Protein backbone atom coordinates (compact mmCIF):
# COMPACT_ATOMS: atom_id res chain seq x y z
CA UNK A 1 0.00 0.00 0.00
CA UNK A 2 2.87 2.32 0.89
CA UNK A 3 4.63 1.56 -2.39
CA UNK A 4 1.49 2.42 -4.37
CA UNK A 5 1.04 5.68 -2.48
CA UNK A 6 4.72 6.50 -3.02
CA UNK A 7 4.34 5.77 -6.75
CA UNK A 8 1.39 8.15 -7.14
CA UNK A 9 3.21 10.84 -5.11
CA UNK A 10 6.32 10.56 -7.28
CA UNK A 11 7.75 13.65 -8.98
CA UNK A 12 8.85 11.39 -11.84
CA UNK A 13 5.21 10.48 -12.42
CA UNK A 14 4.42 14.20 -12.62
CA UNK A 15 7.09 14.73 -15.27
CA UNK A 16 5.92 11.70 -17.29
CA UNK A 17 2.28 12.81 -17.17
CA UNK A 18 3.15 16.36 -18.22
CA UNK A 19 5.27 15.01 -21.09
CA UNK A 20 2.40 12.75 -22.23
CA UNK A 21 0.06 15.74 -22.01
CA UNK A 22 2.30 17.64 -24.42
CA UNK A 23 2.29 14.64 -26.80
CA UNK A 24 -1.51 14.46 -26.60
CA UNK A 25 -1.84 18.18 -27.37
CA UNK A 26 0.59 17.85 -30.28
CA UNK A 27 -1.27 15.01 -32.00
CA UNK A 28 -4.64 16.51 -31.14
CA UNK A 29 -3.55 19.72 -32.87
CA UNK A 30 -2.55 17.71 -35.95
CA UNK A 31 -5.93 15.97 -36.13
CA UNK A 32 -7.81 19.22 -35.61
CA UNK A 33 -7.21 19.97 -39.29
CA UNK A 34 -9.26 16.92 -40.28
CA UNK A 35 -11.78 16.60 -37.46
CA UNK A 36 -12.36 20.21 -36.39
CA UNK A 37 -12.27 21.57 -32.85
CA UNK A 38 -15.45 19.97 -31.48
CA UNK A 39 -14.72 16.39 -32.52
CA UNK A 40 -11.01 16.64 -31.67
CA UNK A 41 -11.90 17.77 -28.18
CA UNK A 42 -14.19 14.76 -27.75
CA UNK A 43 -11.67 12.39 -29.31
CA UNK A 44 -8.52 13.47 -27.48
CA UNK A 45 -9.37 15.43 -24.37
CA UNK A 46 -12.71 13.92 -23.26
CA UNK A 47 -11.62 10.28 -23.51
CA UNK A 48 -9.50 7.75 -21.59
CA UNK A 49 -7.67 6.34 -24.61
CA UNK A 50 -7.11 7.60 -28.14
CA UNK A 51 -5.36 6.11 -31.16
CA UNK A 52 -3.66 8.46 -33.62
CA UNK A 53 -3.54 7.12 -37.20
CA UNK A 54 -1.18 8.25 -39.94
CA UNK A 55 -3.19 10.78 -41.99
CA UNK A 56 -4.34 9.72 -45.42
CA UNK A 57 -3.45 13.17 -46.79
CA UNK A 58 0.22 12.96 -45.78
CA UNK A 59 3.10 11.82 -47.99
CA UNK A 60 3.95 8.11 -48.04
CA UNK A 61 0.52 7.15 -46.71
CA UNK A 62 0.57 4.09 -48.96
CA UNK A 63 3.64 2.87 -47.04
CA UNK A 64 2.78 4.10 -43.55
CA UNK A 65 -0.97 3.48 -43.44
CA UNK A 66 -0.35 0.77 -40.85
CA UNK A 67 1.08 3.23 -38.32
CA UNK A 68 -1.23 3.74 -35.34
CA UNK A 69 -0.12 5.32 -32.07
CA UNK A 70 -2.20 4.61 -28.95
CA UNK A 71 -1.92 7.16 -26.15
CA UNK A 72 -3.77 8.05 -22.94
CA UNK A 73 -6.66 10.48 -23.36
CA UNK A 74 -7.35 13.68 -21.47
CA UNK A 75 -9.55 12.09 -18.80
CA UNK A 76 -6.87 9.52 -17.92
CA UNK A 77 -4.00 12.04 -17.84
CA UNK A 78 -6.06 14.64 -15.98
CA UNK A 79 -7.27 12.07 -13.46
CA UNK A 80 -3.74 10.79 -12.80
CA UNK A 81 -2.40 14.34 -12.46
CA UNK A 82 -5.17 15.06 -9.95
CA UNK A 83 -4.27 11.97 -7.88
CA UNK A 84 -0.54 12.71 -8.21
CA UNK A 85 -0.99 16.26 -6.99
CA UNK A 86 -3.07 15.24 -3.97
CA UNK A 87 -0.74 12.36 -3.06
CA UNK A 88 2.35 14.56 -3.33
CA UNK A 89 0.64 17.25 -1.31
CA UNK A 90 -0.27 14.94 1.58
CA UNK A 91 3.13 13.19 1.50
CA UNK A 92 5.61 16.03 1.33
CA UNK A 93 3.79 19.24 2.04
CA UNK A 94 3.26 20.78 5.47
CA UNK A 95 1.21 23.95 5.65
CA UNK A 96 3.21 26.78 7.20
CA UNK A 97 3.13 30.54 6.71
CA UNK A 98 6.27 30.39 4.55
CA UNK A 99 4.57 27.89 2.20
CA UNK A 100 1.14 29.50 2.11
CA UNK A 101 1.73 30.77 -1.44
CA UNK A 102 2.55 27.27 -2.69
CA UNK A 103 -0.57 25.96 -0.95
CA UNK A 104 -2.73 28.51 -2.78
CA UNK A 105 -1.12 27.60 -6.13
CA UNK A 106 -1.75 23.88 -5.54
CA UNK A 107 -5.32 24.47 -4.41
CA UNK A 108 -6.00 26.62 -7.47
CA UNK A 109 -4.60 23.90 -9.74
CA UNK A 110 -6.80 21.23 -8.11
CA UNK A 111 -9.83 23.50 -8.54
CA UNK A 112 -8.92 24.04 -12.21
CA UNK A 113 -8.80 20.28 -12.87
CA UNK A 114 -12.15 19.78 -11.12
CA UNK A 115 -13.76 22.66 -13.04
CA UNK A 116 -12.57 21.23 -16.38
CA UNK A 117 -14.11 17.83 -15.57
CA UNK A 118 -17.31 19.50 -14.38
CA UNK A 119 -17.52 21.53 -17.61
CA UNK A 120 -17.08 18.41 -19.77
CA UNK A 121 -19.74 16.45 -17.89
CA UNK A 122 -22.54 18.96 -17.33
CA UNK A 123 -22.15 21.86 -19.76
CA UNK A 124 -24.44 22.16 -22.80
CA UNK A 125 -23.99 24.17 -25.98
CA UNK A 126 -26.69 24.85 -28.53
CA UNK A 127 -27.84 27.52 -30.96
CA UNK A 128 -30.91 29.72 -31.05
CA UNK A 129 -31.76 31.42 -34.37
CA UNK A 130 -34.30 34.24 -34.02
CA UNK A 131 -35.77 36.38 -36.80
CA UNK A 132 -36.17 40.13 -36.34
CA UNK A 133 -39.57 40.68 -34.73
CA UNK A 134 -39.82 36.98 -33.89
CA UNK A 135 -39.49 35.01 -30.68
CA UNK A 136 -38.05 31.67 -29.66
CA UNK A 137 -38.25 29.62 -26.45
CA UNK A 138 -35.85 26.84 -27.41
CA UNK A 139 -32.33 26.27 -28.70
CA UNK A 140 -31.01 23.45 -30.86
CA UNK A 141 -27.95 21.24 -30.40
CA UNK A 142 -26.90 21.03 -34.05
CA UNK A 143 -24.58 18.05 -33.45
CA UNK A 144 -27.23 15.94 -31.73
CA UNK A 145 -30.56 14.68 -33.03
CA UNK A 146 -33.75 13.28 -31.56
CA UNK A 147 -36.67 11.33 -32.97
CA UNK A 148 -39.88 12.94 -31.72
CA UNK A 149 -43.55 11.98 -31.71
CA UNK A 150 -45.69 15.09 -31.20
CA UNK A 151 -49.22 14.83 -29.89
CA UNK A 152 -51.11 17.98 -30.99
CA UNK A 153 -54.58 16.89 -29.81
CA UNK A 154 -54.59 19.35 -26.89
CA UNK A 155 -55.33 22.89 -28.16
CA UNK A 156 -53.42 24.42 -25.22
CA UNK A 157 -50.10 22.68 -25.68
CA UNK A 158 -48.23 19.98 -27.57
CA UNK A 159 -46.90 16.82 -25.92
CA UNK A 160 -43.51 15.74 -27.24
CA UNK A 161 -42.18 12.19 -26.83
CA UNK A 162 -38.45 12.18 -27.57
CA UNK A 163 -35.95 9.41 -28.33
CA UNK A 164 -32.24 10.40 -28.64
CA UNK A 165 -30.83 9.53 -32.05
CA UNK A 166 -27.91 7.77 -30.34
CA UNK A 167 -30.41 4.98 -29.49
CA UNK A 168 -31.43 4.43 -33.12
CA UNK A 169 -29.37 1.29 -33.68
CA UNK A 170 -30.44 -0.79 -36.72
CA UNK A 171 -32.56 -3.75 -35.63
CA UNK A 172 -33.13 -2.42 -32.11
CA UNK A 173 -36.74 -2.03 -30.97
CA UNK A 174 -37.61 0.86 -28.64
CA UNK A 175 -40.89 1.71 -26.95
CA UNK A 176 -41.98 5.31 -27.51
CA UNK A 177 -42.41 6.80 -23.99
CA UNK A 178 -46.03 7.22 -22.80
CA UNK A 179 -47.54 5.90 -26.04
CA UNK A 180 -48.68 2.45 -27.29
CA UNK A 181 -46.14 2.77 -30.12
CA UNK A 182 -42.77 1.13 -30.61
CA UNK A 183 -40.12 1.65 -33.26
CA UNK A 184 -37.47 -0.46 -34.96
CA UNK A 185 -34.65 1.27 -36.81
CA UNK A 186 -34.23 -0.30 -40.25
CA UNK A 187 -31.33 1.93 -41.38
CA UNK A 188 -29.55 4.90 -39.82
CA UNK A 189 -27.16 7.24 -41.65
CA UNK A 190 -25.22 9.81 -39.52
CA UNK A 191 -24.80 11.84 -42.71
CA UNK A 192 -26.50 11.47 -46.09
CA UNK A 193 -27.67 13.15 -49.25
CA UNK A 194 -31.46 13.47 -49.23
CA UNK A 195 -33.38 14.35 -52.37
CA UNK A 196 -35.98 13.37 -54.90
CA UNK A 197 -35.23 10.39 -57.12
CA UNK A 198 -35.49 11.02 -60.83
CA UNK A 199 -37.55 7.84 -61.27
CA UNK A 200 -39.65 5.69 -58.92
CA UNK A 201 -37.44 3.62 -56.62
CA UNK A 202 -38.48 -0.02 -56.64
CA UNK A 203 -36.69 -1.03 -53.44
CA UNK A 204 -37.46 2.05 -51.34
CA UNK A 205 -37.40 0.96 -47.72
CA UNK A 206 -40.12 3.47 -46.79
CA UNK A 207 -43.78 2.72 -47.49
CA UNK A 208 -45.36 5.69 -45.68
CA UNK A 209 -44.98 9.45 -45.37
CA UNK A 210 -43.05 12.00 -47.42
CA UNK A 211 -40.65 9.46 -48.94
CA UNK A 212 -43.56 7.79 -50.75
CA UNK A 213 -45.53 10.95 -51.61
CA UNK A 214 -42.49 12.90 -52.90
CA UNK A 215 -40.26 9.99 -53.99
CA UNK A 216 -37.52 11.03 -51.54
CA UNK A 217 -34.49 8.80 -51.09
CA UNK A 218 -31.38 9.00 -48.90
CA UNK A 219 -27.85 8.05 -49.87
CA UNK A 220 -25.26 7.69 -47.09
CA UNK A 221 -22.15 9.85 -47.24
CA UNK A 222 -19.13 10.55 -45.05
CA UNK A 223 -19.59 12.36 -41.75
CA UNK A 224 -18.30 15.94 -41.83
CA UNK A 225 -16.49 17.59 -38.94
CA UNK A 226 -16.25 21.07 -40.50
CA UNK A 227 -17.34 23.81 -38.11
CA UNK A 228 -19.48 25.50 -40.77
CA UNK A 229 -21.32 22.33 -41.92
CA UNK A 230 -23.91 20.04 -40.40
CA UNK A 231 -24.55 16.35 -40.86
CA UNK A 232 -27.84 15.31 -42.45
CA UNK A 233 -28.87 12.50 -40.11
CA UNK A 234 -31.43 10.16 -41.72
CA UNK A 235 -33.21 6.99 -40.64
CA UNK A 236 -35.74 4.51 -41.98
CA UNK A 237 -37.96 3.79 -38.98
CA UNK A 238 -40.56 1.02 -38.73
CA UNK A 239 -43.41 1.99 -36.36
CA UNK A 240 -45.60 -0.62 -34.68
CA UNK A 241 -48.75 -0.53 -32.56
CA UNK A 242 -50.09 -3.20 -30.21
CA UNK A 243 -51.56 -5.15 -33.13
CA UNK A 244 -48.64 -4.99 -35.56
CA UNK A 245 -46.62 -2.87 -37.96
CA UNK A 246 -48.10 0.50 -39.02
CA UNK A 247 -45.51 1.34 -41.67
CA UNK A 248 -41.95 2.47 -42.35
CA UNK A 249 -41.08 6.17 -42.63
CA UNK A 250 -38.01 8.01 -43.87
CA UNK A 251 -37.11 10.71 -41.33
CA UNK A 252 -34.32 13.25 -41.59
CA UNK A 253 -33.27 16.50 -39.91
CA UNK A 254 -33.70 18.26 -43.28
CA UNK A 255 -37.31 17.06 -43.59
CA UNK A 256 -38.62 19.82 -41.34
CA UNK A 257 -41.50 22.32 -41.18
CA UNK A 258 -41.08 23.09 -44.90
CA UNK A 259 -42.44 19.61 -45.71
CA UNK A 260 -45.92 18.20 -45.07
CA UNK A 261 -46.02 16.67 -41.55
CA UNK A 262 -45.36 12.94 -41.35
CA UNK A 263 -48.19 11.47 -39.29
CA UNK A 264 -48.56 8.14 -37.52
CA UNK A 265 -52.17 7.21 -36.79
CA UNK A 266 -53.39 4.53 -34.41
CA UNK A 267 -57.19 4.28 -33.92
CA UNK A 268 -58.34 7.85 -33.08
CA UNK A 269 -54.90 9.11 -32.01
CA UNK A 270 -52.30 10.73 -34.28
CA UNK A 271 -48.70 11.79 -33.74
CA UNK A 272 -46.40 13.86 -35.94
CA UNK A 273 -43.07 12.09 -36.33
CA UNK A 274 -39.79 13.87 -37.12
CA UNK A 275 -36.06 13.51 -36.75
CA UNK A 276 -34.71 16.92 -35.75
CA UNK A 277 -31.87 18.65 -33.91
CA UNK A 278 -32.20 18.07 -30.18
CA UNK A 279 -34.14 20.94 -28.63
CA UNK A 280 -33.77 22.51 -25.19
CA UNK A 281 -36.90 24.40 -24.10
CA UNK A 282 -36.91 27.32 -21.63
CA UNK A 283 -39.58 29.02 -19.49
CA UNK A 284 -39.00 32.29 -21.35
CA UNK A 285 -38.89 33.65 -24.88
CA UNK A 286 -36.16 35.67 -26.57
CA UNK A 287 -37.55 38.37 -28.86
CA UNK A 288 -35.14 39.88 -31.40
CA UNK A 289 -35.97 43.59 -31.62
CA UNK A 290 -33.11 44.61 -33.92
CA UNK A 291 -29.96 43.07 -35.40
CA UNK A 292 -27.11 45.28 -36.60
CA UNK A 293 -24.26 44.25 -38.89
CA UNK A 294 -21.94 47.28 -38.94
CA UNK A 295 -19.14 47.56 -41.52
CA UNK A 296 -16.17 49.87 -41.93
CA UNK A 297 -17.16 52.78 -44.21
CA UNK A 298 -16.65 52.00 -47.89
CA UNK A 299 -15.84 48.31 -47.27
CA UNK A 300 -17.58 45.00 -46.67
CA UNK A 301 -15.39 44.33 -43.63
CA UNK A 302 -17.53 43.98 -40.49
CA UNK A 303 -16.49 45.58 -37.23
CA UNK A 304 -19.52 44.85 -35.07
CA UNK A 305 -22.50 42.50 -34.77
CA UNK A 306 -25.13 43.26 -32.16
CA UNK A 307 -28.61 42.08 -31.25
CA UNK A 308 -31.10 44.07 -29.21
CA UNK A 309 -33.34 41.54 -27.47
CA UNK A 310 -36.22 41.44 -25.01
CA UNK A 311 -36.58 38.46 -22.69
CA UNK A 312 -40.22 37.58 -21.97
CA UNK A 313 -40.43 35.32 -18.91
CA UNK A 314 -43.46 33.40 -17.61
CA UNK A 315 -42.91 35.52 -14.49
CA UNK A 316 -43.23 39.05 -15.95
CA UNK A 317 -41.10 40.49 -13.13
CA UNK A 318 -38.13 38.70 -14.72
CA UNK A 319 -38.54 40.37 -18.12
CA UNK A 320 -35.31 41.96 -19.26
CA UNK A 321 -34.05 44.04 -22.17
CA UNK A 322 -30.46 43.53 -23.31
CA UNK A 323 -27.93 44.27 -26.03
CA UNK A 324 -25.81 41.27 -27.02
CA UNK A 325 -22.58 41.83 -28.93
CA UNK A 326 -19.04 40.51 -29.12
CA UNK A 327 -17.58 39.76 -25.66
CA UNK A 328 -20.80 41.08 -24.08
CA UNK A 329 -23.12 38.08 -23.71
CA UNK A 330 -26.43 38.01 -21.89
CA UNK A 331 -26.38 35.90 -18.70
CA UNK A 332 -29.89 34.85 -17.75
CA UNK A 333 -31.36 31.97 -15.69
CA UNK A 334 -28.04 30.08 -15.65
CA UNK A 335 -27.60 30.43 -19.42
CA UNK A 336 -25.18 32.58 -21.41
CA UNK A 337 -26.26 33.93 -24.82
CA UNK A 338 -23.39 34.87 -27.14
CA UNK A 339 -23.66 36.60 -30.50
CA UNK A 340 -22.54 33.70 -32.73
CA UNK A 341 -23.66 34.30 -36.31
CA UNK A 342 -26.38 35.67 -38.56
CA UNK A 343 -28.36 34.60 -41.62
CA UNK A 344 -31.25 35.49 -43.89
CA UNK A 345 -29.64 38.72 -45.21
CA UNK A 346 -29.08 40.16 -41.73
CA UNK A 347 -32.69 39.46 -40.69
CA UNK A 348 -31.86 36.48 -38.46
CA UNK A 349 -29.52 36.51 -35.49
CA UNK A 350 -28.02 33.24 -34.23
CA UNK A 351 -27.08 33.00 -30.56
CA UNK A 352 -24.76 30.45 -29.02
CA UNK A 353 -26.49 29.27 -25.84
CA UNK A 354 -24.21 27.84 -23.15
CA UNK A 355 -25.26 26.26 -19.87
CA UNK A 356 -22.19 25.76 -17.69
CA UNK A 357 -22.88 25.56 -13.93
CA UNK A 358 -19.15 25.59 -13.22
CA UNK A 359 -18.22 28.65 -15.30
CA UNK A 360 -17.06 30.63 -12.27
CA UNK A 361 -14.57 27.98 -11.04
CA UNK A 362 -11.78 28.67 -13.63
CA UNK A 363 -11.83 32.36 -12.66
CA UNK A 364 -11.52 31.47 -8.96
CA UNK A 365 -8.72 28.96 -9.62
CA UNK A 366 -6.72 31.44 -11.71
CA UNK A 367 -7.15 34.10 -9.02
CA UNK A 368 -5.96 31.65 -6.34
CA UNK A 369 -2.90 30.63 -8.36
CA UNK A 370 -2.08 34.26 -9.15
CA UNK A 371 -2.49 35.24 -5.50
CA UNK A 372 -0.37 32.27 -4.42
CA UNK A 373 2.48 33.24 -6.75
CA UNK A 374 2.33 36.85 -5.58
CA UNK A 375 2.47 35.75 -1.92
CA UNK A 376 5.33 33.31 -2.47
CA UNK A 377 7.44 35.57 -4.66
CA UNK A 378 6.61 38.51 -2.42
CA UNK A 379 7.97 36.75 0.67
CA UNK A 380 11.18 35.86 -1.18
CA UNK A 381 11.47 39.41 -2.47
CA UNK A 382 11.14 41.03 0.95
CA UNK A 383 13.53 38.44 2.39
CA UNK A 384 16.03 39.40 -0.30
CA UNK A 385 15.59 43.11 0.47
CA UNK A 386 16.12 42.36 4.17
CA UNK A 387 19.41 40.62 3.47
CA UNK A 388 20.63 43.51 1.29
CA UNK A 389 19.81 46.10 3.98
CA UNK A 390 22.09 44.25 6.41
The answer to whether 181 touches 240, Cβ cutoff 8 Å, is: yes
Residue 133: predicted pLDDT: 94
- pLDDT tens-digit readout, 10-33: 999 999 999 999 999 999 999 888
Looking at every residue in the chain, the average pLDDT score rounds to 91
Residues 6+ apart with CB under 8 A from 32: 40
Confidence band of 281 (pLDDT split at 50, 70, 90): very high
- The HSE-up count of residue 44 (CA atoms within 13 Å, CB side) is 23
Beta bridge partner(s), residue 352: 127, 338
- Residue 198 pLDDT > 80, yes or no? no
Lowest average pLDDT, out of 105-109, 235-239, 367-371, goes to 105-109
DSSP secondary structure, 72-88, as one string: E-HHHHHHHHHHHHHHH
Q: How far apart are CA 104 and CA 203, in angstroms?
A: 68
DSSP string, 167-214: G--TT-EEEPTTSS-EEEEEEEESSEEEEE-SS--TT-S--BSHHHHT
Question: Which of 227 and 354 is assigned the larger pLDDT?
Answer: 354
Dmax over CA atoms of the chain, in Å, equals 98
pLDDT for position 6? 86
C-alpha 203: how far from its chain's center? 37
- State yes or no: pLDDT of 199 exceeds 80: no
Per-residue model confidence (pLDDT) at position 317: 86
pLDDT at 155: 87
Beta strands in 190-319 (DSSP E): 192-196, 216-220, 234-241, 244-252, 262-266, 269-295, 302-313
For position 257, what pLDDT does the model report?
A: 81
Q: Is 330 a residue whose pLDDT tops 90?
A: yes
The per-residue pLDDT for 188 is 95
Read off the pTM.
Answer: 0.79
Task: Indicate whether 311 pLDDT > 80.
Answer: yes
Q: What is the pLDDT of residue 202?
A: 67
What would the mean pLDDT of 286-299 be, rounded to a whole number? 90
Alpha-helical regions (H) of the chain: 2-8, 11-40, 61-64, 74-92, 100-122, 210-213, 360-389
Please give the torsion angle defined by the CA atoms of residues 201, 204, 208 and 214, in that order, rounded to the nearest 10 degrees.
Answer: -30
| Helix (H/G/I), strand (E/B), else coil: 304 | strand
pLDDT > 70? residue 1 = no
Q: Give dist(CA 81, CA 21) in Å, integer.
A: 10
Res. 161: pLDDT tops 70: yes
Nearest to 247 by CA among 222, 296, 211, 284: 211
User: Which residue would you say has higher pLDDT here, 66 or 92?
Assistant: 66
pLDDT in tens, 95-130: 788 888 988 998 999 899 899 888 888 889 999 999
How far from 12 is each of 18, 71, 77, 112, CA to CA, in Å? 10, 18, 14, 22
What angle do helix axes 360-389 and 100-122 make, rounded to 10 degrees? Answer: 170
Question: At residue 149, does pLDDT exceed 90?
Answer: yes
> What's the pLDDT band for 201 if we cut at 50, 70, 90?
low
Question: Residue 187: is its pLDDT beyond 90?
Answer: yes
Query: Tell me, what's the pLDDT at 170?
Result: 93
- What gap in Å lies between CA 221 and CA 264, rounded to an integer? 28
What pLDDT sits at residue 303? 84
pLDDT-derived band at 228 (thresholds 50, 70, 90) equals confident
Q: What is the mean pLDDT of residues 280-291?
A: 95
Tell me the average pLDDT across 375-390: 87
Query: CA-CA distance, 32 to 51, in Å (whole number)?
Result: 14
Q: With a cut of 80, say whether residue 203 has pLDDT above it.
A: no
Which is more confident, 260 or 136? 136
Amino acid sequence: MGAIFKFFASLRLTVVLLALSMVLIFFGTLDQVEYGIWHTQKLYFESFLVVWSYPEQWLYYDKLFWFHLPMPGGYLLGGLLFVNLLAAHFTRFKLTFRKSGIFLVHFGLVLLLVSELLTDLVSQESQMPVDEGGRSNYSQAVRENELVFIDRSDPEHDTVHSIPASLLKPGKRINVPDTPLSIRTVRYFPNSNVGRAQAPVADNLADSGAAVKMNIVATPTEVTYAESEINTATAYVEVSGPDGILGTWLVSNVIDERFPPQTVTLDEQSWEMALRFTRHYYPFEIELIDFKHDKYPGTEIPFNFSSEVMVHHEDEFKDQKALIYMNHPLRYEGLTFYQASFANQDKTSIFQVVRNPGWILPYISVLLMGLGMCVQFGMHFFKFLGKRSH
